Structure 1
């Protein structure tokens, strides 16, 4: 068999090379175009070019890029820099730029190009990739990173705000002889600041639960009027401190809904607080309830600073809030409205915002499915003063390795008439239990050596232990913690800091069943 000559092999190699180029040319998802360097006329373009720019091959060949119209009107500087580098280096790699499609859309691209000689003529071979989505994603990551940094700065600011007066109050209580009235004022101030810090932590935990889908609703029949009354009571101090005029108007129609009582109250409180924070002193807030086509609509409108049009589409996103001034101590973390949106949607409703612009006020409207009649309305809660009055002589053991927390809680319970024993670790508590089990035990979970779960099981194992009301008190608030607490024998799970009225209510209702264990202050 005769061997092929060198000339034949070279011809075959060129043919193979051309075939490879041809396949790449037609198969590539990217734009590939050949054009004469002398006049810029297109020699050929591939299907990727047609897909990217929406132009047909036959309408492009024989015309220049200017005649085809693929350059944005403001792209002159980009084109000149691109051409200068090509002429200087005869190639470019991943050159950033923009092109215009046949529909007029401007897209972000990266171009790589070479100048090669074909049959004695310089030909430009350009490969262009659409990076619009990649660039948009990168910009979104940069924006998220910027908002994260702003959020951390706001978090530090918001935490320092209450810490400063609490620290000052502690020094004042140590260094000055104070009368009872002054001590009461300082105590109230500390309580307000501690509640503010607890609210920040609760918001952070709620955001975490919502984003991970861990919120579980306790659905029951509720009258929206009662939820509004409770929310107004919680928001009253902030509204009063800014001297706002709050008006409430209810139009005819059903106001019963199927909802989680505490979560809907949380939604309304967040909207009222938002209105109060962003309305200057002496402003007005109007709350309106009405029935609209199977939905109960609750609107909260204010005459505050309003929302600028660029911010309006983003107000329900995490960490978004109006621009803060240095003296705006109530700015918050930008979590409240994100929680509002998620909680409302979990109830099968929707929330909307309207504002005509900065300085024009804003209006938030929540719509929830209405019930035409209520058959199992929620009983009204027992007032806190009635609860505390029922605790006289009740024996309670408090176990917490945080000495200050244990002693303070004991003092509060003693003020309600309870006989309180305090232990700072589980072994001391076990020793005390050997002398008799109290009517109620309030146990921290994160105890050293022996945790609160093990201690709870020990209580249940004692004579009379099954009759003891067991309350878990912990800084942990995840659903898994509640499940562990229930398995250990706890009746209720409270998240620190527990409110006295909540605690007193549970103690007063000592006969309640352990099967109704709930995470108080959590999900």
Structure 2
């Protein structure tokens, strides 16, 4: 027979050169057979493995623990384990990351384990990169968490600072408000004094609102600022805003032209906020108009709205900046050298307040050096025919006056409030610290005690608790009058036994109604 060339390898040769490692072990892991591919990967000849080494001996420490704790029990339980990744120690180089499947069968009555192995170096590298990325992400999240905690701490300190600042500002406002109430009860004749009282009253009211807003900064940034709406005449608001801005306009020698309706235009709006919007725009016009320039203020009905226009002959606005000027902290490049430019929040506040009122604001300009115009549009109130409100007066005392004790370490505030209440027919005693206040209450047994919280020798909460423990103090009307006005302060006052809580400067009309025992007066 002629010699015939062998065309195909034997099955044994195929298994030896297979692209995956193949080996067989006994139940305890002793290698009984290994193909050429596997031997090449780990740098051993088959004769150096068979009967001499266990698969566990070729694994790293971590791989050996995994094999003993995970692979061996599973093989015992279900006779197969799939896709186990371990590192195997090579005699000729670094460890080799492998992925193996193993199944347990019986041969001549003995359990044997058959392994199929793949080298997964690229996958191993990818997993290492994933682990690195995960660590980086965890570190970034941890850093972000620390930054957020630091930010929360900054916000907490900011809130505490604003609360303290508001308290300190309210203290001097209280006696000013009290003096104004005294003046409002007097029949004044001199027109200059009447005018001065009105200016003083308007500015104190405006300052009081601004102080209250210091405690609402977080609500402003979150869009949660609440308006104090009332039915108001736009003309009176425009007049007040012009008076507030007039010093800045005059200082720059500007010519201010005003064209406002001759009849009332009623709005459902917050007068302080509306005045603030108009004043901000007037102040901006004065700041960004060269000395001796012109400013125009006008207001006109346009259908169901009123349009308030503030125009100037100032530096103008580039076309590309007409929208961005309303963004927080926005500054025009051509206005950077103007030191009175401010922080760039005025126009953002105007837009936010206009939207809260159901209106809008828009900017117009023909470009640099050609002046600017801002237009506020607001809906006119349905109650526009109500053109006047009654002059503000404290309600008269009903029946006999009540006995009142005022305890406040601010002597101006305590004495001025006592004078107002005495003019209303009440009998008033005054003390300037907690100890003398408690003694005065014990001696005089007042019906009402108006008690400051921040006192030099103790605090109003402790004094209130002492009073409530006395038989004569059970039925006393306790009123907290304080510069601390946050919700927690109200809760603390209620817990200490106070019946009512007022922030300085107190709304004396509401206080008078409370002293006169009018029903339904809410002071919490």
> What's the TM-score once normalised by structure 2's chain length?
0.48
Q: Higher relative contact order by CA 8 Å / sep ≥ 6: 1 or 2?
A: 2
Larger Rg: 2
